[in-house]
Amino acid sequence: MNQGLVPAAEAINKLIQEFNNLPGIGPKSAQRLTYYLLRAPDEQTKLLAEAILSLKQKIVLCSTCFNVTESDPCPICRSDQRDRSQICIVEQPQDILALEHTGIYKGLYHVLHGAISPTEGIGADDIRSKELLNRLQDGSVSEVTLATNPTLEGEQTAMYLNHLISPLGIKVTRLARGLPFGTELEYADDVTLTRAIEGRQEF
């Protein structure tokens, strides 16, 4: 802080700092949000605070697919409308949202919660690959689609999983190359994602 400037109140600084810690929010936006909330009706700030608290209190991971959910198993794993012979593997829960939004995939999911990245020290044991292998043991799954991001880490992860799953006699497919390299799934548009699912190829 510049000397001579009157420091903002502690409570204000604290919230600016917390906003600033969030992805995609720089110091300016953090400041804008904080001063916006200061002027906002009490009811609005209360709802926001409650929403943040209940996020952690109510959300658990599905013990089958590791998607975020309020009830375990999650609605997708519980649904009798889904094709149980297909599992689509994604890095993050928000990837499921993107794929579900296209409406064309009817199988189940498996969330890795990460991707293999030797540079960041994330290995095969740090993603939910053991749990995935367990799911594949009963022979009910005939196709696994690797929908990891088309990034270096996503490709490495897909290669590793293919190596793990292929010997089980399960067809392994990878999303088609409609997705530009370096893109994250959650930011891909519906048309591109739909083409990528429809055009998935054997790994």
Q: Tell whether residue 74 is a contact of Zn ion (CB under 5 A).
A: yes
Q: How far is the CB of 111 from Zn ion (least distance, A)?
A: 8
Q: Is 92 in the site for Zn ion (CB under 5 A)?
A: no
CA 63 to chain centre: 16
* 132 is a site residue for Zn ion (CB under 5 A): no
Residues contacting 137, CB < 8 A, separation 6+ = none
Interface region with Zn ion, contact rule CB under 5 A, candidates 28-36, 75-83, 99-107, 185-193: 75-83
DSSP state of 26: -
The angle at the Cα of 143, spanning 128 to 65, to the nearest 5 degrees, equals 30
Q: Is 86 in the site for Zn ion (CB under 5 A)?
A: no
How many other CB atoms are there within 10 angstroms of residue 83's CB atom? 13
Which C-beta is closer to Zn ion: that of 65 or that of 112?
65
Kindly state the number of chain residues that form the binding site for Zn ion, as judged by CB under 5 A: 7
> Is 77 an interacting residue with respect to Zn ion (CB under 5 A)?
yes
Q: Confirm or reject binding of residue 170 to Zn ion (CB under 5 A).
A: no
Q: Which helix (H) or strand (E) holds 15?
A: helix 10-20
> Binding of Zn ion at residue 64 (CB under 5 A)?
yes
- What would the two tokens of residue 58 be? 């109510």
CB 97, min distance to Zn ion, A: 14
Give the C-alpha separation, 56 to 59, whole Å: 6
Residue ranges binding Zn ion (CB under 5 A): 62, 64-65, 67, 73-74, 77
